[in-house]
Chain A
Amino acid sequence: MSPKEEVYTRHGGKGGDRGKILAEMMNAEGKAEVLDDILVLDVSSANFAGIIAASFLAEFGAEVVKIEPKEGDPARQITPFGVTVQGVGIPFMFEGRNKRYMTLDVKNNPDDRRIFAKLAKKAAVVIESFAPGEMDGWGIGYRQLSAENPGLIYIALSAYGQYTDQAKEFAKMPDADITSQAGSGLPAQMGAPPNEPEPYTWPLRGGMWAGWYISGLSAALGGTVALIHRQNTGQGQMVDVAGMDAYSSMVGMPATIGFTWEKARPRIGVLDFILYPYGHWKCKDGFVAIAAPRDHDFRALLKVLGLWEQEDDWRYSSDRIPDILEQAIHLHKIIEEKTLQFTGDELVRMALNYSKKSARSKWRGGGVPIVMKLMTPEEAMKNKQWHIRKAFQEVEDEKLGKYMISANFVKMSESPPRVKWVSSTIGKDNEYIREKYLND
C-alpha cells in the first residue's frame, strides 16, 4: 500500500469485518430486478431528461424501449464539442443502459402512431417530451392512451409543464439544460461577488447538466411513486415535469428565501451562506476542500493550521456567518496563507491525525475538521474507494467498442440497480419488439 493510500485507509480503526460483510451483501450478481415485469416506452425527443428517467427505470430492471425516427433522436448529437463515436454522442453513450431501440416516427407518420398506441396498451410507463398537447393532438396523449390502458403512467417533460396559462402560452418553448438551470434559479446563486470584474460577477451555469439530471431524476421518482399506486390499485396517472421547476423545487431555498427576505440573495463567490469554513482553498499542489463549520471544528482547524492566535479575534471567534463579506474574505485569506504551505496529502493527514486524537480524548469538544483533496472527474475515476464499490464500470457497445461509465449508484442487498449492457444502434430491436408485443 502506498503512503498515499494509507492516508485513506487507516482512519477509523476497527470495523474491517463490517466493511467486508457489507461489500459481499451488496454484490449485485444474480440478484432480483425490481421492475422486471414492466414495459417502458421512451418516445422523448432531443431531451435528455426523458432519456435519463428511462435509464433509471432500465437500471432497476424495466424493459425500456427507446422509440425514435429512422434518422435517430437528435439527442444523439447533443455532445461536448461535437465529440462522437461513429456519430453517437458521449451523453447518449453514457445513458444507453439496458435499452431496446425501435424506429417509429410518431411526429410525422400516422401508421407509426397506431403501432405506438398498440404498444402503449401493454406498457406501464410512457415518457415523452414533445410540446405540451402535441401527443394529444396526434391522438396518442395521456387522454387517449389511458382510455385504453387505465393503469398507464404517462410522464411528460417540458419547459413550463402541461397545465396553467403559462404552459399554454409557452407550449412551443423547448426544454434544454441551460434554460432549465437558469429558469429554476441555479445560476443566480453562482458567480463572483459584486466587487469583481465582469463577466465573473454574472450568474454562472453549473458545469454539469444540473437541469436535465434533476428533471430526469424527478420524473423517475414521481413515476415510481405512481408505480406503487398502480401496484396497489391498478390505477395509472399522469406525471408532469417542468424544466423551469427543476432546481428550485429540488432544493426549495429560492421560494422560501425570496418570500421571507423579500429580495434575492447576492452572489458570494466561493463562500457559503450558512457554514464557514466550508469551501476550498489552494494548497501547494492543487486544491483542498475544507469543512470545519461547527465551533469546535473551526477551533480544531485553527490548531491544525497553526492559527490559534486568531482564536479570540472578535471578527470570527463568535460569529463566522459570512453576512459581512469583507470579514469572511479576510479569514479566507488567512487560511489560504497556511494551506499554501502544505501539499494536499499533508493537509489531509494533519486533519486526520488531529481528529483521531480528539476522538480518543475524553474531552468531547475536540472537533473534526474535514480536509480532502479536490478531485477532477478524471482523478476521481482512479480512486480505490470507487473501484471497491464498483462505482465505475467498463461496458462494451457492439458497434462503438469499450468505454467507461459510472454505474451502481446505490447499493441494495436484494434488488439493486445495475447496467447489464449498453447499446445505441438505431432500430436494433425492431424485430424483437414486434415479436414480443405486436404479434396479436
Chain B
Amino acid sequence: MEDYFSYTAKLFNPEEASQKPEALKGIRVMDFSHVIFGPIAARLLADYGAEVIKLELPFYGDLWRPATYWGKYWKHSNPIWHNITKNKYFLSVNLQLKESKELIYKMAENADVVIENFAPGTADAWGIGYEKISKINPNIIFLSCSTYGQFGPMRYFPGWDLLAQGASGVLTLNGYPDTDIYYKLPDYVGDFVPGNFAALAVLMALYYRKKTGKGQYIDMAQTEGLMRMLFNYTYHSVTKGAIGRTGNTDPTMVPASIFKTGDEKFLALACATADQFKNFAEAMGKPELASDPRFAGTLERLKPENAKALTALAVDWVRSKSCADIVKLADASGFPAAEVADDYMIANEEWRRKRGSVVLFKDDIYGNLAIAGPSAMLSGTPSRTKWLARPLGYHNRLVLKKFLGLSESDIEKLEKKKVIGTFDDRPGLKPPVYYNLSEDPIYNYGKEVKK
C-alpha cells in the first residue's frame, strides 16, 4: 500500500487546488456589510466559489478600507483588508438615489444570499432589509449580523468586536489573577469567529434550501457566537464559582502553560491525558511522577495544589532545555508542545507555505502578498484565493454589464447621475500609483483597452 503521506500529498496537492471544482459555484451573494464581521462571512463564501458582490458608497467606501495597523499602508492599500475582502466584486453605488435602489432590487431577483451588518433596523429603514428583499425574492437567504442581535432590549446598541468581548465575558478571562488588568483577545477575533459562525449558518440555509426550496432570515449576534465558546457558564451553574483569569495556565490540563526555555524562547506545553503525562514524565527523566498519587490520575493532577506543584517542576525543566529540544522530545514521546509563533515566523515558516496555510499569492494589480490560507483544507473543493481586494468601484462595469445586462451607455448615464462612482485619492480606496487603470480590461469591462 502506498505510504499514507504520499497518498495525502496527492490528495491535497496545493498546486492543483485552483483546478478543482468549487462547492458554491453559481451562488450569488450581495454583500452590503462593512468592517470585518459581515465581510468575513461573505468572503468565506467567495473562497468556496460564490460570486460575492460587495456594495460600497462612492468616494467613501467601507470604513475599514483605510484602517491599517499603525497606519502603515502597502502599495496604497490596507494590507489586512486584502485578507478580509479578497475574491469579491467591488460595486460602488450611492444608496441615497432611487436609481441605485432599482439596481439593487434588480440584482436581488437573481441573488441567493444577502449579507448586511448595519445597526439593526437600518437596512429595513433604507428599503434594503429582509422585509423588502424577501418580497422581491421569497427564496432569499438573508443574513443580518449585529453585536447584540435583531431583537431584545439591547438591539439598537451599536457595537464592535470589543463590545461583544465585553458583553459575553470573554474579555474578563484574559490576564493574570489578582491583578487589575484584563486583555482583550487581539486582531478582532470577536469579529472573525462570529463571521465564521454566520457563514456556517448561511451554508446550512443553502443546504436546507436545496432540499426544500425555502429561503430564510438569519440573525447572527456576535456576542452569542462568542458565548457558544465558553463553558464557563456551565462551570458557574455547577459550582456557583467562576473560572476567572488563570494567566498563562490552562486550568483544564496539567501541566499546560506557556513557559520560558533555556534559550529565552517561549513555549507552550500541555498534557491533556494520563498517557500524555506519562510520556512527559519519561521525557523529563522522572518517570516516577507518573505513579505519584498526586499526579497519576488526571482529575487528581488537576486539583489546584497538585497542579501548582507539578507546574513548578515543569517550569524548572523547561528552563533547563532549549525550545527545539523540547519540541523534538515532545514529538518523539507523544505530548503536545509548540514554540510561541509570532507574525514573522508564521509568514515565513516553510511548512506553512507548503501546506497552503500561508500562500504567497501573485496578484495582477498588487504583485506578491503573503495571505493566510483557510483554517480547514478540503481535498475535493478547496478554498482558494483568486484575487486580492480591489479599489473602490473597480468592478462597476463588470457587475452591471455581466450580471445585470446593462450597456456602456446605460453605465455612462449612471455615472453622470452619480448613481455609481469610484475612489478618490485616499489610500485604501485607490489603486497603487504605479498601476494604470485605463489599461485594465476588468475595470473597463466591455470597453476597448489599449495596452
Contact = CB atoms under 8 A, between A and B. Distances in A.
A26 B151 contact: yes
Nearest to A55: B228
A263 interface: yes
B225 interface: yes
A102 interface: no
Given A164-B354, A221-B200, A258-B345, A376 B242 contact: yes
A124 B393 CA distance: 42
Nearest first, the 10 closest Cβ-Cβ pairs linking A and B are A258-B347, A222-B376, A12-B156, A82-B302, A237-B380, A207-B173, A377-B169, A259-B370, A166-B351, A252-B83
A264 B345 contact: yes
B273 to A, nearest CB: 4
Contacts of B304: 81
Interface stretch (A112-120, A173-181, A302-310, A424-432): A173-181
Contact of A388 (B151, B210, B215): B151
Most buried by A among B231, B246, B342: B231
A363 to B, nearest CB: 18
Contact of A182 (B156, B228, B332, B341): B341
Contacts of B251: 80-81
B136 interface: no
Nearest to B182: A280
A150 B193 CA distance: 31
A225 interface: yes
Interface residues of A, number: 190
A106 B19 CA distance: 36
Chain A's interface: helix, strand, loop or mixed, by majority?
Answer: mixed
Nearest to A53: B376
Contacts of B186: 186, 189-190
B70 A321 contact: yes
Chain B's interface: helix, strand, loop or mixed, by majority?
Answer: mixed
Interface in B142-180: 148-160, 162-163, 165-176, 179-180
A287 B167 CA distance: 12
Contacts of B283: none
Which size bracket describes the interface of B in this complex?
A: 35 or more
Given A81-B302, A183-B341, 10 more contacts: A32-B212, A169-B331, A188-B343, A222-B376, A225-B383, A226-B378, A270-B181, A372-B157, A372-B163, A385-B154
A185 to B, nearest CB: 5
Interface in A34-84: 34-35, 46, 56, 60, 74-75, 77-84
Interface string B236-249: 11110011111111
A256 B269 CA distance: 27
Interface in B204-258: 204-208, 210-212, 214-221, 224-225, 227-239, 242-253, 256-258
A20 B268 contact: no
A282 B206 contact: no
A254 B343 contact: yes
Interface in A342-366: none
Interface string A270-307: 10111100111010000101010110000000000000
B216 A415 contact: yes
A125 interface: no
A279 B168 contact: no
Contact of B370 (A9, A143, A161, A258): A258
Nearest to A190: B183
A380 B74 contact: no
Interface in A209-250: 209-210, 213-215, 217-229, 231-233, 235-242, 244-250
Given A162-B12, A221-B203, A222-B374, A177 B250 contact: yes
B336 A205 contact: no
Contacts of A78: 252-253, 272-273, 298
B214 A289 contact: no
Nearest to A287: B182
A235 to B, nearest CB: 6
Most buried by B among A20, A94, A255, A379: A255
B376 to A, nearest CB: 3
28 contacts: A8-B154, A18-B150, A74-B273, A79-B252, A80-B302, A83-B238, A163-B12, A166-B351, A176-B250, A177-B250, A179-B338, A202-B266, A204-B175, A207-B174, A207-B175, A207-B245, A227-B203, A238-B11, A241-B375, A259-B370, A273-B70, A370-B159, A374-B182, A375-B167, A384-B153, A388-B153, A403-B234, A406-B230
